[in-house]
Structure 1
Amino acid sequence: MKKALIFQGGWDGHQPRQCADLFATKLTERGFAVEVADSLTVLNDAERLRELSLIVPLWTCGTLTAEQETNLVAAVEKGGVGLGGFHGGMGDAFRGAISYQWMVGGQFLAHPDNVKDYTINIVRPDDPITRGIPDFKVRSEQYYMLVDPRNEVLATTTHQSVSATWTNGVVMPFVWKKPHGAGRVFYAAMGHQLAEFHDHPEQLEITLRGMVWAAR
């Protein structure tokens, strides 16, 4: 059986515990044995990480020790463990951890106008992660990010803002996948709080499919 580790914590505004509970349930339904950890100390055990199929970070902000960053990156890059996550829990985690950010493929910068309505545009309808899912509207934070040009972009969003008008018309990669060394990485920028996954089943399905794709 595939083993998944979700580690949750950091800024409470993204509801990491509630999201961890949801994804633990949903990944179990898709055949994973899931462990939820409430501390970053779980990343101190490099051997334990290498035994996993999938790691899901749900830890907005926070700080990794050098050992924790090395172990996490090595599990994916050298060990072939998958990494999959969403929004700030993965894309605004550990701002000082450059090797981690390189692995993720993007880093949060801003969300102009905070929570608002916008559209997720599917640009790879042929991909198994997005197949059968049309463009859909969400109400969430619209992330503006630094992104790796090597990402395989599956969905985008076009920025329209009152508070940062200079971003209007920018097409931002919003869902992507990529290899990182021996491992696979999946990221979706939507998912500010738990209710979004209940309100937008397309969002939940894409995120789950991406995690399953990333898993070893």
Structure 2
Amino acid sequence: MTARILIFRGGWAGHDPVPTSELVAKTLRERGVEVDIQDTQACLLEPDLAERYQVIVPVWTMGEIGKAELQALIAAVQKGVAVGGWHGGAGDAFRQSTQYQFMIGGQWVAHPGGVIDYRVNIVQHDHPILKGLKDFDMHSEQYYMHVDPNSNVLATTTFDARHAEWIDGTVMPVVWTRRYGKGRVFYSSLGHVIADFERTPEVLEITVRGLMWAAGVL
């Protein structure tokens, strides 16, 4: 089966939505996945959305989503289309939409200290998204998120007291999967800017594998 993925991008430019999505799309294509990229939410209103795509990927930090576009996205996922994404493009998109957050399974609320050094710990070593990967270090934003407990956590990070002493020892999900209706959901809080993908190979690998898993081809 040849998978087809739709990336729609926009929102805050500080998360490099264009270069990150171009790199992810390039890598997916190299692995046999078809990828369409749109710079508008109008693509969500296409009548054959659920028939054309196996995965929809929002890369849209902050911003707002139209009511009709949101309902089309939600309906597609509930019918069985997967949704996936990374960092703020998916985990800090459409802040005013609790329905969207319910689907993704989490929402960014803080990154204490800004860009810092931290470690990512693999929880499920045998899951296809993380198989063969080991714990690794990041120099980026360590996302503190409000996370739905009804998710399958694949990797975590542990906060210390350097920038907020009251969260010392908090174990926070970094990568998770879940289900929304009949659709698969994949999310990774990694990938703040294009440099994260380029200097830490695990970031790109987890993202690409996660979207392929969501598409059912991993």
Say whether the fold is shared (TM-score over 0.5).
yes
Whole-angstrom distance in 1 between the partners of 2:12 and 2:105: 21
* Structure 2 unaligned blocks of 5 or more: none
Who is 1:29 aligned against?
30
Question: What TM-score, normalized by structure 2, do the two folds share?
Answer: 0.95
Q: Do the aligned partners of residues 122 and 179 (structure 1) sit closer, same or farther apart at CA in structure 2, a change above 3 Å counting?
A: same
CA displacement, residues 113-139 of structure 1 (integer Å, 9 cap, x when unaligned) = 000010000011111111110000011
Who is 1:202 aligned against?
202
Whole-angstrom distance in 2 between the partners of 1:7 and 1:93: 12
RMSD: 1.2
Question: What TM-score, normalized by structure 1, do the two folds share?
Answer: 0.96
Q: Which runs of 4+ in 1 moved over 6 A?
A: none
Cα deviation for residue 109 of structure 1 reads 0.4
Whole-angstrom distance in 2 between the partners of 1:23 and 1:203: 10
Who is 1:132 aligned against?
132
Who is 1:45 aligned against?
46
Q: Do the aligned partners of residues 182 and 137 (structure 1) sit closer, same or farther apart at CA in structure 2, a change above 3 Å counting?
A: same
Matches within 5 A, 1:171-190: 171-190=171-190
Matches within 5 A, 1:127-166: 127-166=127-166
Who is 1:75 aligned against?
76
Whole-angstrom distance in 2 between the partners of 1:13 and 1:92: 12
Whole-angstrom distance in 2 between the partners of 1:190 and 1:33: 23
CA displacement, residues 51-81 of structure 1 (integer Å, 9 cap, x when unaligned) = 2111111100011111111101111112x11
Count of aligned pairs between the two proteins? 215
What is the percent sequence identity of the aligned residues? 49
Who is 1:8 aligned against?
9
Whole-angstrom distance in 2 between the partners of 1:81 and 1:96: 23
Whole-angstrom distance in 2 between the partners of 1:144 and 1:33: 33
Whole-angstrom distance in 2 between the partners of 1:94 and 1:46: 23
Who is 2:97 aligned against?
97
| Counterpart contact for 1:105–1:148, Cα < 8 Å | yes
Whole-angstrom distance in 2 between the partners of 1:31 and 1:160: 41
Which secondary structure does the structure 2 equivalent of 1:118 belong to?
strand
CA displacement, residues 114-165 of structure 1 (integer Å, 9 cap, x when unaligned) = 0001000001111111111000001110111110111100000001243322
Q: Do the aligned partners of residues 46 and 104 (structure 1) sit closer, same or farther apart at CA in structure 2, a change above 3 Å counting?
A: farther
- Is 1:113 the counterpart of 2:134 in the alignment? no
| Counterpart contact for 1:46–1:75, Cα < 8 Å | no
Whole-angstrom distance in 1 between the partners of 2:20 and 2:207: 12
Whole-angstrom distance in 2 between the partners of 1:65 and 1:162: 39
Cα deviation for residue 202 of structure 1 reads 1.5
Who is 1:20 aligned against?
21
| Counterpart contact for 1:43–1:49, Cα < 8 Å | no
